[in-house]
Structure 1
Amino acid sequence: MKKVLLITSRSDTGGGPKHVFELLTFLKNKGLEEITVCAPFEKPYGEKFQELSSNFIPIKHRSFSLISFFKILLFCKDENIQVIHSHGRGAGIYSKLLSFFGFKITHTFHGVHEPKNIKDSFKNLIDRILKYNINLGIFVSESEKSLAKKIGLAPDNNQIIYNGIDRNIFDKTNSPEEDSIIFGTLSRLDPQKGNDLLIDNFIKFHQEFKNTKLLIAGGGEQLQELENKITKKNAQEYITLLGEISDPQALLSNINFYVSNSRGEGLPYAVLEAMASKTPCILSNVSGHNSILSPKELFELTSAENFGDVYKYVNLHKDEIIEKNLALIDSKFNLEKNFQMVLESYLAQ
Structure 2
Amino acid sequence: MAGGACSECSAAVMKLLDATKHDRLREAIRTNANLAEIDEDQTEELVCVGTNTPLRLPENPSMNDKIIHDWQLYAGRYDNKTVDAHLASIRDFEDFFEGQCFSLTKDKDVGKYRKWLLEKGELPREAGGFSASTIRHRASHLAAFFKWLGKQDGFRRLSANLFEYFALPRQKMARVLARPDKIYPSIDEALTMIQSMPTITRTQRRDRAIVAGAFVTGLRAAALSTMRLKHIDCVAKTAVQDARDMRAKNGKSFIIRWFPVPEAFHDVVVSWKEELAKDGFESDDALFPDVKYLYRPKVGTDPIPTLQTNGVVNRAFQIASNGLGKSFSPHSARHCLKALGDKLCTRAEERKAWSLSRHVVWLISCP
Relative contact order, CA 8 A, sep 6+: which one is greater? 1
TM-score computed with the length of structure 1 as normaliser: 0.30
Q: What TM-score, normalized by structure 2, do the two folds share?
A: 0.29
Q: Which has the larger radius of gyration?
A: 2
Structure with more of its chain in helix, by fraction: 2
